[in-house]
Amino acid sequence: MITNKQIIILHGWRLYSSKYGLLVKFLEAKNNKVYVPDLPGFGKSSKAERPYRLDDYVDFLSLYIKQHKIKNPIIIGHSFGGRVALKYCAKYPKYASYLILTGVPGFIPVNRYKIYFFYIISKIGGVVFRIPMLCKIQSIARKLLYRMAGASDYMHTDGYMRDTFKSVIREDLLLPMKNLRIPTILVWGGSDSIVPLSVAAQMNKTISGSKMVVVKNASHRLPYESPNDFLDKLSGYIK
């Protein structure tokens, strides 16, 4: 179990800090100081006034760490939050002691040809569903299309955050992964259907010296639905 550390948890897309309350409770019980900021555009943070890039979130994290005078934290990044953590740690390796990634789409999640295909289909669908008899099923068809494209998060996002989402998932993190120089641990749910184990395995090969552990039968929601199992897998890796 992790004890007597400063820890930052970065939440996933469409999530917020309080979602990780049970994980925070377990960590604080072992005398850890835990920080869980609401990233810009989420939770209780201010509403987005423009589209953000991944670098904007990295800058936010850098400023947050300075403002709270956090020294050499362990950074836990879940899903989207892991993309932020990964790029931050590659850019500022001296300001974190460990990087823990879980359910993080380290590689561009949707093949570009698949994106083009569904873009064309959506344009055709926009014309077809203007027919009065088909208007009623437009919403259902759109949801099905986004789910097939692996972009359900995009469907549930609007305004500036929709442009933010597109910018974030399009960014290639191969170079930051190759440049990571701090101890990195990948903790994955064995039944993660959002970011499957194959992605974790590929990231493990790319990040030099990284360790990968799997929690059987756990889903993409591992860190907040099964925090005890999540932390148990870290035992022995954090010194």
Task: Give the whole-angstrom CA distance, residue 55 versus residue 61.
Answer: 10
Report residue 13: phi and psi, to 5°. -65, 140
pLDDT of residue 235: 85
**Quick one: 183 and 211 in the same domain?**
yes
- With respect to residue 128, please indicate whether it lies within any of the assigned structural domains: yes
- With respect to residue 50, please indicate whether it lies within any of the assigned structural domains: yes
**Quick one: 131 and 19 in the same domain?**
no
Encoding tokens for residue 33? 């100081």
The residue-averaged pLDDT of 115-123 equals 51
pLDDT tens, position by position, 85-98: 999 999 999 999 99
CATH code for position 193 = 3.40.50.1820
**Quick one: 67 and 14 in the same domain?**
yes
What percent of the chain lies above the pLDDT cut of 90? 67
Report residue 8: phi and psi, to 5°. -115, 130
**Quick one: 86 and 133 in the same domain?**
no
Average pLDDT, the chain: 86
**Quick one: 101 and 44 in the same domain?**
yes
**Quick one: 206 and 131 in the same domain?**
no
Strand, coil or helix: what is 189?
A: strand
| CA angle (37, 81, 32) in 5-degree steps | 50
Q: Angle, nearest 10°, between helix axes 54-67 and 160-170? A: 100
- With respect to residue 162, please indicate whether it lies within any of the assigned structural domains: no
Task: Give the whole-angstrom CA distance, residue 58 versus residue 70.
Answer: 15
- DSSP string covering 73-86: -EEEEETHHHHHHH
Task: Give the whole-angstrom CA distance, residue 51 versus residue 163.
Answer: 6
**Quick one: 12 and 102 in the same domain?**
yes
pLDDT tens, position by position, 133-171: 545 555 555 555 445 444 455 445 668 888 898 888 889
**Quick one: 57 and 78 in the same domain?**
yes
The answer to whether 97 touches 4, Cβ cutoff 8 Å, is no
- With respect to residue 156, please indicate whether it lies within any of the assigned structural domains: no
**Quick one: 82 and 133 in the same domain?**
no
Q: Supply the pTM of this predicted model.
A: 0.84
**Quick one: 89 and 188 in the same domain?**
yes
pLDDT of residue 95: 96
Q: Residues near 13 by Cβ (< 8 Å), separated by ≥ 6? A: 79, 80, 153, 157, 165
**Overall domain count for the chain:** 2
Helix (H) or strand (E) holding 98: strand 98-102
pLDDT tens, position by position, 200-220: 999 999 999 999 999 999 999
Task: Give the whole-angstrom CA distance, residue 214 versus residue 231.
Answer: 12
Task: Show the domain range for 130.
Answer: 112-149
**Quick one: 76 and 137 in the same domain?**
no
